[in-house]
Amino acid sequence: MRKSGQNLMVGAGILTLAGIIAKLLSAVYRIPFQNLVGNTGFYVYQQVYPIYGIGVVLALSGWPVFISKIITEQPDEAHQQLVARRLFWWLLFISCGLFILVYGGAPILALGMGGNLKLTPVVKAVAWMFWFMPFLAVGRGFAQGQLNMVPTAISQIIEQIARVAIIIAIAWYGVTAKWSVYTIGTWAMAAAAIAAAAATLYMSGVVKSIWRTPITKAVKKDKSIGWFRIFHRLWNEGNLLAMLAGLLVLLQLVDSFSTKGLLEIYGLSTQAAEYAKGVYDRGQPLVQLGMVLATAISTSLLPVLRNHVVHHEQKDFINDFQMMFRLSLILSGVATCGLMAVMPVVNQVLFSTREGSQSLIVFVLTVIPATLILIGTSVLQSLNKTRGIGWLIILTMVIKYGLNIWLVPQYGIIGASWSTILSLLPMLSIVMHRLPKTLWQQWHGPRWWGKFILTLLGVLVGAGGWCQISDIFIGSSRLANLITLIIAILIGIIVFIIMLWRLRLLSVAEWYALPKGHKIYNFLERRNK
């Protein structure tokens, strides 16, 4: 396999592993948290969570991906470091503005989130994390621009471990001390700033390194990396990438400002609406888990594709895109079918009841279009063909809001799930249409779609069938469901691997591109002889 492809997959592999660990922690901490504070307490936390989610997107994937792209374009280390320095000061200025906006506007935001002023201190608590974004974004982006994904991966894990540990401790102590759910929510959101500080401490070495090389006057006078040129690109390209990476968080923000009131129109009381919204929010960590690979691939894909563009390596560009697109489609499809198959079981294991399983099954369908949008827009970004995409994201949010107004009052919380997936389809169609036609030439083999659908059905029937049988013979207690879930995951993985191999859905190169894929492929080939 080519060196660029190997670098791409190594980078994606590192970020995928870190993402899986972080998302598992993000899902696991919700178990004791939701069980301790209840669905209403979970609702309080999740109402403000999109603001935290936007901060994470900016510091972890949005701005760093843009920074990695612009770093890759520079001819030498001096240019790279000067760009990084100037971006740091611009991001510090923007972060200051975001802090003032969120902290100062907390009462207005709280009123917008269901007319509940008790959410004001919760909103204020999360605002403090914005001060750490310049350090994390520039440190991560600078390292990624040099195709070093390790600092991003480790800092992500440090940040998540610190945040999860603090949140669980706060929930336990708050319940013991009989705090209100709003006090617990305030301190839980404050954990975001503390965790960001821990990650910043780890990234301090990388951040310091951008001031290591003395910059000559000739480099400083380069107009292509002037102060306002850098800001213009940050505002147009960087913020666009942040919006793309945070697309689902932005849709979640729409839910925070609309769903509770619409559920009351549906006929629920205020308390019942908050409870139902808390149940609906269970879907967020599950979708995030399904999106881990897409986020990692898109983060690793952009600097590599941009490098192909800069060096006019069209054939390598097409090959890398096609391989990543096929793998992303297959893996996101299998993740979606797997989550759908085990949803009632995983719902009870994580959150103690099977409430809202139908709406969550619909909700996880968003993994596929969201994944393809991420990959497609990464390609458009590498080709500098993103004009109008920002407005498309805003249009998607407007469509989501409009569909909420139409569907939630008629169908309740499942209407919010349908509005999310339906709002993504127009954007997916436009993004795929805007990709160059040359990328689609011979991008899959004969009968590929039939093999792909058969593989998804195999996983859905295998894992889902086991869950149905297990309910009858093992029972539906929480412990029984945990055993069922573990076995269902193993069945799903085994069926998936066997179907991939038997149907020859992946090429040998694609098998080798997957983590441990070469060992699995060689083992299966030996067993067949």
**Inter-residue contact 372 to 432 (CB < 8 Å):** yes
Question: What is d(CA 484, CA 477) in angstroms, rounded to the nearest whole number?
Answer: 10
Structure tokens at 1: 């396999």
Q: Which amino acid is at 388?
A: G
Question: What is d(CA 529, CA 526) in angstroms, rounded to the nearest whole number?
Answer: 5
Q: What is the pLDDT of residue 9?
A: 52
The region that residue 436 occupies, defined by phi over 0 for left and psi between -120 and 50 for alpha, beta otherwise, is beta
Q: Would you say residue 180 lies in a domain?
A: yes
Mean pLDDT, each 10-residue run in order, the chain (529 residues): 49 67 73 80 83 79 80 80 89 92 91 82 91 90 81 87 92 90 91 92 88 75 79 80 80 88 89 86 81 64 68 78 83 91 88 86 93 84 80 93 95 93 94 87 80 92 91 83 91 89 78 69 71
Q: Which domain holds residue 157?
A: 1-209+224-245
Q: What is the pLDDT of residue 503?
A: 84
The count of domains in the chain is 1
**Inter-residue contact 462 to 492 (CB < 8 Å):** yes
Rg of the chain (C-alpha set) = 23
CA torsion, points 120, 126, 127, 128, in degrees to nearest 10?
130
Question: What is d(CA 489, CA 374) in angstroms, rounded to the nearest whole number?
Answer: 26
User: What is the Cβ-side half-sphere exposure of residue 208, based on CA atoms within 13 angstroms?
Assistant: 6
Question: What is d(CA 170, CA 235) in angstroms, rounded to the nearest whole number?
Answer: 37
User: What is the Cβ-side half-sphere exposure of residue 477, based on CA atoms within 13 angstroms?
Assistant: 4
Q: Would you say residue 78 lies in a domain?
A: yes
Q: Would you say residue 350 lies in a domain?
A: no
**How many Å from the N-terminal Cα to the C-terminal Cα in the chain?**
25
Q: What is the pLDDT of residue 5?
A: 47
DSSP-derived secondary structure for 378-401: HHHHHTT--TTHHHHHHHHHHHHH
Q: Which amino acid is at 217?
A: K
Nearest to 508 by CA among 439, 445, 442: 445
Q: Would you say residue 155 lies in a domain?
A: yes
Task: Extract the runs of DSSP E, i.e. beta strands, from 134-225.
Answer: none
Q: Would you say residue 516 lies in a domain?
A: no
Query: 160: Cβ–Cβ under 8 A, 6 or more apart, which residues?
Result: 21, 22, 25, 26, 195
Give the distance between the most distant pair of CA atoms in the chain.
76
Q: Would you say residue 139 lies in a domain?
A: yes
Q: Would you say residue 331 lies in a domain?
A: no
Q: Which residue has the tokens 């993103």?
A: 386
